[in-house]
Amino acid sequence: MQMGIPPSRVFKLNVDGAFSSNGSMAGIGAIVRDSKGEVIMSAAKKELSVMIVVEVEALAILRGLQFCIHLGIHNLVIESDSLLVVKEFNKKGSLKDTFDNVIREAKELMTQFGTCEVQHVNRSCNEVAHSLVKFGLSVQNISLWWGAYPDVISNILWSDSSTL
């Protein structure tokens, strides 16, 4: 279920991060949609050097921002289901958490956008990114789809579009 469609000329990036069931590896999922809900890009990536859950959630935002910069996007709304990470991104001042380098790097990238904000959504509104991250745990390194998406999320996207 989608949180909502962004205004015209604003793109929405949904991200999620997770660990495998045995905790041996982490992955991220990201999907970018335009104001019509059309998929611009989707990605699933394995991350090898992540230590804690909030770090992989923050890393998902960083990777999503890196993808969006390459797409030439200027206005972006980022949605994550990690309330702690969203609060860290929206904090003013210095960071002192174990994952502060990831957030600092992502905040630096955010300055390259005309507008860029990070919002919290419930897991039920982030199912596409969550399915992508589960898929990401099984990829060699990274799988990218430009203007497309893998079959594993097609039912969720169809359900999203029917609720608009």
Q: What does the pLDDT read at residue 11?
A: 96
Spatial contact of 59 and 17, defined as CB atoms under 8 Å apart: yes
Spatial separation of the C-alpha atoms in residues 151 and 71, rounded to whole Å = 22
Residue 24 falls within a domain, yes or no? Answer: yes
Render each residue's pLDDT in the chain as its tens digit; 164 residues.
Answer: 344 666 678 999 999 999 988 878 899 999 999 988 899 999 999 987 767 888 999 999 999 999 999 899 999 999 999 999 999 899 876 556 667 788 889 999 999 999 999 999 999 889 999 999 998 888 889 999 998 889 889 888 876 654 44
Residue 22 falls within a domain, yes or no? Answer: yes
For the chain, the domain total comes to 1
Q: What does the pLDDT read at residue 61?
A: 97
Q: What does the pLDDT read at residue 161?
A: 56
Q: Which domain holds residue 115?
A: 11-162
- Residue 45, helix vs strand vs coil: strand
Residue 3 falls within a domain, yes or no? Answer: no
Structure tokens at 18: 């997770």
Q: What does the pLDDT read at residue 9?
A: 87
Residue 144 falls within a domain, yes or no? Answer: yes
Spatial separation of the C-alpha atoms in residues 28 and 81, rounded to whole Å = 13
Q: What is the domain-level CATH number for residue 48?
A: 3.30.420.10
What sign for the dihedral angle of Cα 85, 87, 92, 97?
Answer: negative
